[in-house]
């Protein structure tokens, strides 16, 4: 099997991606905003990568220089954007944009060359249906919605720009998942969501590059 790099392995979906890919026989580079949260799994390489810290990108890029990456999973993100108009935390809005939108772009800019020499050449971007402008019927969540809509726009451009290099890009809504950022009332587990996303990415055709889909592979509107 090949190599998978996953961001945001501190909790939830990122940890599940790292574990499932390791179980499937991939060499996993699991990255964390805080290495104190690392998985207790000797099969993986555990590295620090706060996606807002460009110096950490440089250090990891130097370590992985020339090494093929088969699947790049851009998962790191923050949410819990619940404050209302007139009481918004603009510092947090800026942080959401830095983590959810700029961070993934820096990730791909840093590791596109590694991805291009991999065998599978898949870029999986964990987005959200909250970034679908046409599906917004309730308002609010200004920073989170904007960060994910911007992420989708970036993903679409990446798909076009990376297509000549044989890289297939997909944006996926993981569903409402029982994680710290979701809810105990959510209908699906992280294991179910990640398993479905991995299955969809495994079957992904290059004609689907730049698409926005549910975790089960159903197209979503923009």
116-165 pLDDT per residue, tens: 999 999 999 999 999 999 999 999 999 999 999 999 999 999 999 999 99
Q: What pLDDT, on the 0 to 100 scale, is given for residue 184? A: 67
* Pick from 5, 54, 49: nearest CA to 30: 5
Q: Which CATH architecture group holds 3-214?
A: 3-Layer(aba) Sandwich (3.40)
Going from N- to C-terminal start, the domains of the chain cover 3-214
pLDDT digits (tens, 9 = 90+) for 188-213: 999 999 999 999 999 999 999 999 99
* Pick from 176, 153, 173: nearest CA to 218: 173
Q: What pLDDT, on the 0 to 100 scale, is given for residue 81? A: 85
pLDDT digits (tens, 9 = 90+) for 29-67: 999 999 999 999 999 999 999 999 999 999 999 999 999
| Contact (CB, 8 A) for 32 and 24 | no
Residue 31 half-sphere exposure toward CB, CA atoms < 13 A: 25
pLDDT of 181 higher than 70: no
């Amino acid at each position: 099997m090949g190599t998978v790099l996953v961001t945001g392995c501190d909790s939830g979906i990122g940890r599940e991606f790292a574990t499932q890919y390791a179980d499937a026989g991939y060499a996993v580079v699991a990255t964390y905003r805080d290495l104190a949260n690392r998985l207790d799994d000797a099969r993986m390489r555990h590295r620090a990568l706060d996606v807002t810290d460009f110096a950490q990108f440089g250090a990891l890029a130097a370590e992985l220089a020339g090494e093929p990456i088969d699947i790049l999973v851009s998962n790191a993100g923050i949410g819990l954007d619940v404050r209302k108009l007139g009481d918004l935390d603009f510092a947090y809005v800026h942080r959401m944009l830095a983590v959810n939108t700029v961070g993934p772009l820096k990730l791909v800019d840093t590791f596109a060359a590694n991805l291009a020499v991999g065998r599978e050449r898949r870029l999986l971007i964990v987005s959200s249906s909250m970034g679908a402008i046409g599906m917004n019927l309730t308002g609010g969540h200004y920073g989170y919605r904007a960060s994910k809509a911007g992420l989708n726009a970036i993903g679409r451009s990446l798909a076009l720009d990376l297509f000549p290099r044989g890289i297939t890009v997909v944006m996926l809504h993981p569903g409402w998942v029982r994680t710290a950022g979701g809810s105990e009332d959510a209908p699906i587990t992280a294991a179910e969501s990640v398993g479905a996303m991995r299955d969809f990415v495994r079957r992904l055709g290059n004609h689907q590059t730049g698409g926005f889909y549910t975790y089960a592979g159903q197209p979503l509107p923009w």
